[in-house]
Amino acid sequence: CVYFSVGMFRTAFVGVHAFLPCTLRTDIPGADIADDAGKFPDPFAFYTNPKYPGVTLPGPQRRDKCGWSTTSNFEWNATDNTCILNGQGYPITQGPSCSNSVYKTNVSDFTAAYLKWQAFALHNTALVDGAHVAEFEVDGQQIKAAMSIGHGVLDGKCGSCFLIKQGDRYVAQLQTDVRAWSLELSTGANLWLASDNVGGTCYVPEVKPMSCDAVYGALRVV
Q: Please choose, from the candidates 107, 114, 80, the residue with its C-alpha nearest in 3D space to the C-alpha of residue 207.
A: 80
Q: Is the pLDDT of residue 2 over 60?
A: no
pLDDT in tens, 71-96: 999 999 999 999 999 999 999 999 99
Mean pLDDT along residues 174-202: 97
* The overall pTM is greater than 0.75: yes
Q: Is the pLDDT of residue 17 over 60?
A: yes
Q: How confident is the model at residue 5 (pLDDT cuts 50, 70, 90)?
A: very low
User: Distance between CA atoms of 104 and 87, rounded to whole angstroms?
Assistant: 24
Mean pLDDT along residues 166-184: 98
**pLDDT score recorded for residue 222:** 58
User: Distance between CA atoms of 207 and 95, rounded to whole angstroms?
Assistant: 25
pLDDT in tens, 134-165: 999 999 999 999 999 999 999 999 999 999 99
